[in-house]
Structures are given as C-alpha cells and as structure tokens.
Amino acid sequence: MTSDVGFRIGTDSSKFPAPAGTDAAWLLEKAASAGLEGVFFRSALELSPTLDVGELRALREQADDLGLYLEVGAAKINPFAAPEAPEIRALGDGDYLTGIERIVVACAAAGIHEIWAATANYKFDLAGRLACDRYRTDVTWNDQLRATGKVMAELAPVLREHGSHLNIETHEEITTFELVRLVEEGGADAFGITFDTANVLIRGEDPVAAARRVAPYTRQTHVRDGALFFTEQGLCRVLAPCGQGVIDWPALMTALLDAPRKALSIEGIMGRRFQLPIPIHDPLWHAGQPDMTTVELAELVRLARGYEDAVARGERRSLTSLAEPADDEERERFVLDSVAHLRAVAAQIGADRAR
C-alpha cells in the first residue's frame, strides 16, 4: 500500500514482538499479513548466520513475492567501537573491515544493496552525557570521527563495485551535521544516511530541521516519535508511537520527499520506552556540540512545554505512565498505530500536492 507520495512503511525486526524460535521468513510473512510494506533486519546475520548467498537470496525473493522491501544492517564503523561487535571480527577471520566487506558482497550477490551502519552504542549503565561515546575521555569525538572517515574510505571501493550503499544512522552519539559531512566526504555514491527521527532529539536537534539537512542523503529511515519532559538535568526523551509525541509529521515527511529512498521502518519499543536524558543544563554537554544552534534547542524547549501542557489536559501520557513496562500487545500496537498515522499523513500530503 505505497502512498501516493512514494513512502513505503515497514518495521524494524529487532523491535517487533515475535514468539521464541521464529526466524526471518516468519517475520516477512507476519509483516505482509499485518499490512506492512517492508522489514529492516538489524543484522544480515539474522538472515543467514553464515552469510550463505542462497539463504540470503531466498529471503530477498520471499520479500519480493510479498511486495516487501528488505534492508539489512552491518556493524559499527567507528573503529573505537569495533570491540563491541566481536562477531564481525570473527566473520572476517580476525579482520573487522573484512567482516563488513563480506556482508556487503554477500548481500549484493543476493540483491540486497541498502545496508545500515552506525558509529557507537548507547551505554545505559552510564549517566547523562557519558552514556554517549562522543563524551568518552580516553579518545576525543573528533578523533573518532576522523577514524570513522578512514574506515569509510577503506570500504568505499567494495561498495561502489557492488552498487551498494552503507547508510550511517543518526544514532544518539552523532549529529546530523557530522553525518552530512561524513557522507559528502566519503561520497554519496557509496554512503547514505539512516535517519532516526527520534534520536536527533537527544542531540538537541529539531527533527524537522534535521530531516531537511539529511534528506538529500537519506536512504533508510527509522521512524518513531518522542515525548519530551522537563527534568532536573534539563529534558528527557521517551519513545512514543508516531503522532503521539512532539514531532510535526506533515513537515518532517514533506522534507523527506527529497530523499532518494522513502522506506520508513518503524523502530518500536522493547520492554521499555528508552527514557534518555538531554542534559541542557550541563556546560560540558554544550561544549561537545559545536554545531548545535540555540534556535533548534529553543524549539525542543517549546515542544516539551507543549507536550507537558497536553499531559495536563489529559491528551498525552505522563512520564510515570510511559515508565511502565510494555507487553507484547502494546509493542505491536506501537508499530501498527505508527503505520496508521504515517499513512494518514502521507495521504494528506499527496492530496495537498494534487490540488
């Protein structure tokens, strides 16, 4: 059910509730039966632990038969985060870069060319800004970005040879400004951006402004909303279904009309809704974000005030309510409610453009 303006709306495999023992083929069938239009698998190893091209191709053909897009993930490409993914090093017989290259080659042979990557992991056992690798004290964020750029330069030839794109996520630790620079330096013929609509809030960015920045390079999109609350640290973000948070979806999706690919994968929730801090009262947090603008930070404050006003009117869920664990029924409803909202917005955009 592709929208009139070209959006295809699917799900992230890692956040969609599935019974124990199910596999990628099951999820493709489940997605199609639920009326979704694609699946993003967090790792290519979910499709085939050995990267068997026959297994990968069979799943890609299954997706084609079901009318679904199929995207996969590779690994972190910040070498300072590489030790956190030992399975990639093992895949390359001890060589981390070779492991990623083997994912690219095997996926391309199976007809899968859009591949997710990221720069780090969020550290839930650390507090405040220290949970993001950009604030590590053993290596500067600028050094991590430079090292990431070198990894991209090493991977570029194999990506170009196979007509594939490695799409780096707007993860919690990196800004859209930095990602645009990395992609422009690495080459948009080999690299793209995976735009996560709710993660940019963590970096003090207005999601609509962020969408406009990344749209020319966005080849994969992870979609969810965010509720914003005031805290002693400044603000916090809690995940919410699309249309139930602070994001202006008509404006954001209009910005994404310029994206080279318009596949929107709902990244739902697990047992928790990931309440993450936005420590706007911390001077070191500000000092570590030289691209951040007061205009966009002020917009986040405005959005938080509007959300808390909506809570007071009984129109939105409170922070206490959102802190409650989510069961599988609510996790699935998170995805399906998001799909319904995004389709309604896409239809309205299409109708407005047809006038």
pLDDT-wise least confident of 164-168, 267-271, 312-316: 267-271
Tokens of 60: 């890609």
Cβ atoms 223, 29 nearer than 8 A: no
What separation, in Å, do the N-terminal and C-terminal C-alpha atoms of the chain show?
Answer: 22
Which tens digit of pLDDT belongs to each residue from 1-56? 555 689 999 999 988 878 888 899 999 999 999 999 999 999 999 999 999 999 99
pLDDT-wise least confident of 87-91, 95-99, 309-313: 87-91
Mean local confidence (pLDDT), 117-133: 87
Higher pLDDT, 204 or 323: 204
Cβ atoms 218, 193 nearer than 8 A: yes
Packing angle of the helix pair 24-33, 53-66 (nearest 10 deg): 10
Which tens digit of pLDDT belongs to each residue from 179-198? 999 999 999 999 999 999 99
Q: How far is CA 233 from the centre of its chain?
A: 25
Q: b or e along 74-111 (b: 16 or more beta carbons within 10 Å of the residue's beta carbon)?
A: bbbbbebbbeebeebbebeeeebbebbbbbbbbbbebe
Which tens digit of pLDDT belongs to each residue from 213-266? 999 999 999 999 999 999 998 999 999 999 999 999 999 999 999 999 999 999
**Which residue reads 């809030």 in tokens?**
201
Nearest to 87 by CA among 27, 53, 42, 131: 42
The C-alpha R_g of the chain, in whole angstroms, comes to 19
- What average pLDDT is seen over the chain? 94
pLDDT attached to residue 307: 96
Given a cut of 60, is residue 271 above it in pLDDT? yes
Mean local confidence (pLDDT), 49-66: 97
pTM of the model: 0.94
Q: b or e along 249-275 (b: 16 or more beta carbons within 10 Å of the residue's beta carbon)?
A: bebbbbbbeebebbbbbbbbbeeebbe
Given a cut of 90, is residue 309 above it in pLDDT? yes
* Ramachandran quadrant class, 254 (left: phi over 0; alpha: psi -120 to 50; beta: rest): alpha
Q: How far apart are CA 210 and CA 322, in angstroms?
A: 25
pLDDT attached to residue 2: 56
pLDDT attached to residue 269: 85
Q: Where are the alpha helices (DSSP H) in 165-233?
A: 176-186, 207-214
Given a cut of 90, is residue 175 above it in pLDDT? yes
pLDDT attached to residue 1: 54
Cβ atoms 337, 245 nearer than 8 A: no
Given a cut of 90, is residue 355 above it in pLDDT? no
Q: How far apart are CA 263 and CA 274, in angstroms?
A: 24
Q: How far apart are CA 265 and CA 39, in angstroms?
A: 7
Mean local confidence (pLDDT), 128-146: 92
Higher pLDDT, 91 or 242: 242
pLDDT attached to residue 348: 93
Domains and CATH numbers, the chain: 8-354 (3.20.20.150)
Beta pairing, strands 234-240 & 218-223: unpaired
HSE toward the beta carbon, residue 233, CA cutoff 13 A: 17
pLDDT attached to residue 44: 95
Given a cut of 60, is residue 296 above it in pLDDT? yes
pLDDT attached to residue 251: 98
